[in-house]
Amino acid sequence: MAAPLAGLKVIELARVLAGPWAGQTLSDLGAEVIKVESPQGDDTRQWGPPFVEREGDRSASYFHSANRGKASVTVDLRTDAGREKMHALLEDADILIENFKTGGLAKYGMDYATLSARFPRLIYCSITGFGQTGPYAHRAGYDFIIQGMSGLMSITGEPDRQPQKHGMAITDIFTGIYATTAILAAVHQRAQTGVGQQIDMALMDCAVAITGNQAMNYLTTGTAPVRLGNAHPNLTPYEVFETSDGHAILATGNDGQFQRLCRLLGLDDMASDTDYASNADRVANRPEMNRRIQEAARRFTRDALLAACEAHNVPAGPINDMADVFEDPQVKARGMQLEIDGIPSINSPFKFSGAELALHRPAPKLGEDD
């Protein structure tokens, strides 16, 4: 079976994470993706240790996490030869992904206005920290800063500690995914109009967009949400509890689940107590409810509590480290760990009944396809 995007050609003039993540996603789905690097290579090739060592190449694991499946060519846009090489690559390309600072490609004649005149069908996806417009458009965008500015860190972490960033560069990852969605929407529209367009993706926009229910809580009430650690602002009990030998996540989503949790914990009186009858009641009486649940949870080992929750149809789970993750039978059953040409990789999450993914090559060596 063919991959869904077989036949699309993507030129990725991007580095670090958001742009390469979009390029890797399109490659997994079958597009031909040519990564255009400066002669020095993508910055993340050096973001180690750890490194992946292979003949003629030593690139950081970080680089391999976002560049699977691509070809690599080197281009020096400062030279006439480099610009001619870019034009040759674009002759039959469908999509260009770039993440230069706003206006940064104009001096090379690689901006959208210039290229669209020559390649009217080109879909040109620009990824920046703050977008092509607005008072911050000139600024460089870094995930950590965007997490702070977007409000994400204001709702992440313990209330009596520093605000915390996410453990991954989450605004980069989400921007890459949103960019992929926008690119495919533009491909669909081009099939009807015959012309391409520019897509303006900003990390800041995507970060604000994913604040979701927390932002809606603010817009509804005018009160900014605060950090609650592992607690949920709208739902409870829905957090981490200590057991006798570790931690477990208990995540009840309705009244029946809460009542079953109470009974398996030996808190039968709480199951019928009007103070906890509805989710709104439980939110209002959260401290005492959590105190009693915590006291009961400590009488269980982690695995015993998880087994009891499974038996009583109460949503619960462990907190795995990465070693645990890749030993998890569900992760194994879904084939989420790969090895491509001897190099470990994380599988793409797409599963199709009528198509296959194009997981055909690891991240490229610098200039491997010049």
- Show the CA angle centred on residue 109, arms to residues 106 and 112, nearest 5°: 70
Distance separating alpha carbons of residues 107 and 200, to the nearest angstrom: 19
pLDDT in tens, the chain (370 residues): 889 999 999 999 999 999 999 999 999 999 999 999 999 999 999 999 999 999 889 999 999 999 999 999 999 999 999 999 999 999 999 999 999 999 999 999 999 999 999 999 999 999 999 999 999 999 988 999 999 999 999 999 999 999 999 999 999 999 999 999 999 999 999 999 999 999 999 999 999 999 999 999 999 999 999 998 898 988 999 999 999 999 999 999 999 999 999 999 999 999 999 999 999 999 999 999 999 999 999 999 999 999 999 999 999 999 999 999 999 999 999 999 999 999 999 999 999 999 999 998 999 999 999 8
Q: Please answer whether residues 110 and 99 qualify as being in contact, where contact means their C-beta atoms are separated by less than 8 angstroms.
A: no
Q: Please answer whether residues 186 and 200 qualify as being in contact, where contact means their C-beta atoms are separated by less than 8 angstroms.
A: no
324 catalytic, yes or no?
A: no
Distances (CA, A) of 152 to 20, 217, 240: 23, 14, 20
111-161 tens-digit pLDDT: 999 999 999 999 999 999 999 999 999 998 899 999 999 999 999 999 999
Q: Chain-centre distance of CA 16, in angstroms?
A: 14
Q: Running DSSP on this structure, what letter comes out for residue 135?
A: T
15-63 tens-digit pLDDT: 999 999 999 999 999 999 999 999 999 999 999 999 999 988 999 999 9
Distance separating alpha carbons of residues 144 and 306, to the nearest angstrom: 35
Sign of CA dihedral 166, 171, 173, 177: positive
pTM score: 0.92
Spell out the residues 6+ positions from residue 179 whose beta carbon is closer than 8 angstroms to its own: 18, 19, 22, 97, 125, 127, 199, 201
- Show the CA angle centred on residue 44, arms to residues 41 and 47, nearest 5°: 125
Distances (CA, A) of 39 to 74, 79, 136, 364: 5, 12, 30, 14
Q: Which of 94, 172, 200, 205 is catalytic?
A: 172
Using a CB cutoff of 8 Å and minimum separation of 24, what contacts does 187-196 make?
Answer: 187/8, 187/94, 187/95, 187/123, 190/121, 190/123, 194/121, 195/120, 195/121, 196/116, 196/119, 196/120, 196/121, 196/122, 196/123, 196/124
